[in-house]
Amino acid sequence: MSNQPPPGYAIIDLGKGYSERFGPVYLDRTNRRLAFQVAEQHLNPVDTCHGGALATFSDAMIVAVWPGAESGQAHTPTITLTTDFFAPAPLGAWVEADVELTRQTRTMLFVQSLMSVDGRRIGRASAIYRNPAKSGEKT
């Protein structure tokens, strides 16, 4: 596969630490999509994308629907994250997540995504994040 992301994506800076470890992630803010390419560092012992890598990518989906979340400038701590795995993603595959902010309350953001490779679904994610409007508070 191409090492270039699908059209419409631009690389996004998710900061240092674990996000830097994960590797490049690409955002298409207009269409609320997030993408990454499965590389050696994302593989599991059977050479497909590690479940933890897809979970990590899923946790980042908030950046597609909440500007500022990527930098921690608008800190949106994850309350709960669920990732379902439909099919393996091979080395080199571009995993794309279509992200939706399904509901915003005073204290919480409900977000979900469907993950695909070449238009074929490989997983889904559902999460609740703290609404940064309340982030001054301790949970």
The CB-of-126 to a second copy minimum distance in angstroms stands at 5
Helix (H) or strand (E) holding 138: none
3-state SS of 58-97 is: HHHHHHHCCCCCCCCCCCCCEEEEEEEECCCCECCCEEEE
**Residue 85 is a binding residue for a second copy (CB under 8 A):** yes
Among 1, 6, 84, 118, contact with a second copy (rule: CB under 8 A):
84
Kindly list the distances between the CA atom of residue 35 and the CA atoms of 24, 39, 50, 92, in Å, as whole numbers in the listed order. 9, 13, 16, 12
* Identity of the residue, 6 or 68, whose beta carbon is nearer to a second copy in the bound complex: 68
**Residue 119 is a binding residue for a second copy (CB under 8 A):** no
Binding mask 15-34 for a second copy (x = CB under 8 A): xxxxxxxx------------
Amino acid residing at 74? A
Task: Report CA 85 to chain centroid distance, whole Å.
Answer: 14
Binding mask 39-78 for a second copy (x = CB under 8 A): -xxxxxxxx-xxxxx-xxxxxx---------xxx--x-xx
* Identity of the residue, 1 or 20, whose beta carbon is nearer to a second copy in the bound complex: 20
